[in-house]
Structure 1
Amino acid sequence: MSNRGPVDDREQGFTFRHFRNIIDGKPTATLETRFSINPSTGESNAPVPVSTKEDLDLAVSAARRALKGWAATPWDERKDVLLKLLNAVVEKKEEFAKLLVQEQGKPLMFALSEVAAGAREVQALMTIKLEDEVIVEEGGRKVIRRYVPIGVGGAIVPWNCE
């Protein structure tokens, strides 16, 4: 299946009908896509990108470039950015829940609960203060525990496909 050219969902409102990788802040099409099946209806879900090693390398390079500025950003500012993202997800909770229904076949009320629980967990994690902590201070040496961004992380997650 081909995935040619960018599709801008902003013109249609927020939807989960068109998916692209976001690499270096830009929607990026792939040569190949695949789709999953809604287990409740047997219908095809929207196609999603099939990424290549080259796509991954570009994404990691972009993330490493972005890390420099992100690591220099104070914790409170980073937290504000994450809070804006969380608020955007909560604002569109019904759309995210419908996506879970399509992907997993679960009832909408359970999907809404899952989105809400995820939002609560992120909110709770954001209340943790990441302050420096002096571990040892003796004999002219001082050991301090600091929480700072140290690198780019990635994950390959299981996906139920053929």
Structure 2
Amino acid sequence: MLIRPETPADHDAVRAVHLAAFAPPDGSPAIEAALTDRLRGGAWYLPKFSLVAVVSGDGRDSDHRHSQVVGHVICTRAHVGETEALGLGPIGVLPGAQGNGIGSALVTAAVDAARTRGERLVGLLGDPNFYGRFGFVDARTVGIEAPDPAWGVHFQVLALDDDAPWGAFRYATPFDDL
């Protein structure tokens, strides 16, 4: 498996990943696919934080001629008060590839990229049992308010420096339409 920045040539494959990973039981399209498309369309989009997990058809990472995008994660510009932060998500892995560490590798790569680029905080909505292993904690315990208080323990943050901000967390504008 190779994790690399997403390119425009990956957009259809990324859409397919999110449609499959989040397919509602009623057969309607997964909102995560359209959200990801909208997240690419504004000042909040940070191309270096949109990553794909790729495997080759023959199992060799170096054979890109027959490669397949099996996972995707995106982090976009968010804010805590007036301080810049990152909002992680959506993150998706094709159902047939789940359970193989791809989601964990994508989260690790996103967090590593955030640290490398001097980001101060990453916030997300997700399962505490999964994200806790990466150091994410209930946002309320560090003075950060979720966009929706009903999210409770599922809104989590990872402070990347000792001077992380506190206050109300705001995702990129496309999240407001959900």
TM-score greater than 0.5 by the shorter chain:
no
The structure that is helix-richer by fraction is 1
Q: Which has the higher contact order (CA 8 A, sep 6+)?
A: 2
Instruction: Give the TM-score taking structure 1 as reference length.
Output: 0.24
Instruction: Give the TM-score taking structure 2 as reference length.
Output: 0.22
The structure that is strand-richer by fraction is 2
Return the index of the structure with the highest Cα Rg: 1
